Amino acid sequence: MFSKVSSSQLRAILAIAIPMIISNITTPLLGIVDTSVLGHLPEPHLLAGVTISGMLITVAVWIFGFLRMSVTGLTSQASVQANAKTQTNILLRQALTVALLAAAFILCLQSPYLKLGLWYAQTDTLTSQSATDYFTIRIWAIPASLFNLVLIGWLLAQGKAKQIMWVQIMMNLTNVLLDLLLVYQFNFAVKGVAFASLTAEYLGLFCLLIFAKPLMLKSVLVQFKQSFNWQKIKPFMLVNRDILLRTLILQAALLFITFQGARLGVEVVAANAVLMNFMMLISLGLDGIAYAAEVLVGKHYGAKQKNQLKQTLKACSLFTFLFAVFYCLIFAIFGHSIINLMTDLHAIRSVAQSYLIYIVFLPLTAAGCFLLDGIFIGLAASKTMRNSMAVSVFCVFFPVWYLADLTLQSDTYQANHALWLALHAMMITRGITLYRKIPGYIARAES
């Protein structure tokens, strides 16, 4: 396959992918440290509570994940046009405005949002208290989280992958050090983990602003007040409507996994939290290639460079497959050791290890949709992404879970298999439904 890909194309992919992979290394390590810090404390409700609140906050942030996706895809396509500077200024300004409004909306509704989540989880009093302690602190990082999405998306499209790498490394190492200090030295437990994440998010925002081009940032700030006009924001939101709907549907499935696990017991939700860290490890490599696909596909498609587009797709596909096989082998050999590293609570270890087989094969079932998400972000094909996600979640994920749950519901721990089977089915369907649309977009990219 590489024989048909130019060396310059490979260098372009690796120039983006390698820094993003290095920066992503610290993210799964951060999740593992967070889990390990709480997983080695004697009370399992601490890890369970943070898992529930952490998912609520993750959903709140990633509902607006379109801010990063659209800024990367649209900015990459605009960069090959004559008025690139003007377009990227408008795009960044409008995205930051939407991020600010979204943060204000989330913060205003934080109390009923938490109550709704705890009501649905139907968990015990201690777990609910841990979830509340974490949520009430961590939620105030939302403004920084949303602004970071926009700035990372823009810097990535500008080819600033190395700057993003250093910021991510700094954020995650800060979080790890504060976790260890606040939890073990000052005995802050859940609140210490929350304060660590809060501090890291705002430190990251400060650094990303420094890396943003001074002239562009000045242009954005000068015209920022003009963006508080719905008629100016509306076109940007319409472009992102489909990505927003796609993200809402995906988060509904992921949220369902967390809260359905909570209904099965503290040990199940905690074990699922341990296993979800493997998902972050998978994203270490696969997301790096997907980020490269976002930028390069956007540029080639915007410039109508059909041959370069096809070369990029082939090279990214091969890199993704190699990473997926590598992860399968690592998880098969070291999976039990990784679980033991994250918690010394026997009940959680036992439950997590009984579902390890799903993690071993997850890199292969998820590889296609990881890469194709990046490709379609670069194509700015939001409607295709929305439709694929709707089919995968509503026509596959929930029906598979329901049918499997009917068979396994007599046993609490066995019922958790239904969630993992549904997750794999959803990933495979996303990959298939997106892949079948690729030829049409290639045909439109005529020189």
Question: What ranges do the domains of the chain cover?
Answer: 2-444
- Which two three-digit tokens encode residue 291? 């980020």
Which candidate, 50, 216, 57, places its Cα nearest to that of 123? Answer: 50
Low pLDDT (below 50) residues in the chain: 1, 28, 215
Tell me the C-alpha distance between 228 and 240, whole Å.
18
pLDDT value of position 26: 52
Evaluated on CA atoms 159, 163, 165, 168, the torsion sign reads negative
Torsion of Cα atoms, 245 then 247 then 249 then 254, to 10°: -170
pLDDT value of position 233: 60
Residue 270 host element (H or E): helix 266-302
* Residues 298 and 253: beta-carbon distance below 8 Å: no
Which residues, in sequence order, are CB contacts of 235 under 8 Å at separation 6+? Answer: none
What are the percentages of helix, strand and coil residues in the chain, rounded to 5?
90, 0, 10
Evaluated on CA atoms 15, 288, 70, 96, the torsion sign reads negative
pLDDT value of position 215: 44
Tell me the C-alpha distance between 157 and 150, whole Å.
11
pLDDT value of position 33: 65
Please give the radius of gyration of the chain, using alpha carbons only, rounded to the nearest integer. Answer: 21
Burial of 38 (0-12, 13-18, 19+ CB in 10 A): buried
Torsion of Cα atoms, 388 then 392 then 394 then 396, to 10°: 150
- Which two three-digit tokens encode residue 248? 């809402």
In the 8-state DSSP scheme, what is residue 214? H
Q: Which residue has the tokens 């810097």?
A: 155
In the 8-state DSSP scheme, what is residue 139? G
- Burial string for 390-417 (b: 16+ CB within 10 Å, else e) reads ebbbeebbeebbeebbeebeeeebebbb
- Which two three-digit tokens encode residue 269? 């939700």
In the 8-state DSSP scheme, what is residue 81? S
* Residues 120 and 103: beta-carbon distance below 8 Å: no
Three-state secondary structure call for residue 79:
coil
For 279, other C-beta atoms within 10 Å of its C-beta total 16
Which residues, in sequence order, are CB contacts of 275 under 8 Å at separation 6+? Answer: 339, 352, 355, 356, 358, 359
Please report, for the chain, how many H helices and E strands are present, in that order: 19, 0
